[in-house]
Structures are given as structure tokens and as C-alpha cells.
Structure 1
Amino acid sequence: MEKKMTSGKLELVAAKKFAPYGEMYKVVDFLNKTLKDKQVIFGLTKDEKGQMTLSIYET
């Protein structure tokens, strides 16, 4: 699922839902630390059903 929306100073580039993975937050943390100079931010959310959504934003 790809979207392009403007929200404040962050622009949502893409979002993808997937089954829960317990250590996904470590992957997101690694990506944010490694790619911070590339003007992208990764976000991770978990809904009430347990599905996770990985979002990519441009700053």
C-alpha cells in the first residue's frame, strides 16, 4: 500500500501492513539511525488486532 500525503513537515511516502514481528522495532531503530542524513524517518505502529504498520516519511 503506497500513499503520498502531506502532514506538517513530514510527508508519508509509503506504508505497509504485515504480521507481528517482535523485534521489528530494532530494525526501525537501525534504519532511523543509519539513514537520518538521507532525510527519511521510519515509523512503526501496532493496531488492536496485532498487525504492524511500517511507515516511511520524508522530512
Structure 2
Amino acid sequence: MESKVEVLSRLRIPHNGDLYKVVDVLNRTLKEKDLMFGLALDPDDKETAIFTIYRT
């Protein structure tokens, strides 16, 4: 069975050490709505985080 993940939105924001907590609570709260949230450092700018919303 193949799972498709669709990127709904992507946002670049200043990196903050607590952003992962927001992503964690969003993932726990909205997984039943087939939404998934991701956070990564921009490979070109370590001061910028990339926040992504996916539909699973």
C-alpha cells in the first residue's frame, strides 16, 4: 500500500529552540485530521527554520 504525502504549505521563520514543541503538539492533536507538521533547519541559513504542513 502506497502512502502519498502532499505538501500544503511551507514557511521560513527565524529559528527558535522551542519551535519543536509547537510542531509536536500540532502532530499529536491533528493526526486524526490527516495532517502532519515538520520542522527543519534551512541548510543554507542555520538561523532560519522551515515549517512545513503536510496532508497524509
Superposition TM-score tier, normalisation by shorter sequence: 0.7 to 0.9
Comparing both chains, which one has the higher relative contact order based on Cα–Cα distances under 8 Å and sequence gaps of 6 or more? 2
Unaligned runs of 5+ in 2: none
Aligned CA-pair RMSD:
1.1
**Alpha-carbon shift at residue 22 of structure 1 (Å):** 0.7
- % same residue: 40
1:25 is the counterpart of 2:2: no
- Three-state SS of the structure 2 residue aligned to 1:9 is coil
Higher strand share goes to which structure? 2
How many matched pairs?
A: 52
Unaligned runs of 5+ in 1: 1-7
Structure 1 stretches of at least 4 aligned residues deviating more than 3 Å after TM superposition: none
Give the alignment's TM-score, normalised by structure 1.
Answer: 0.82
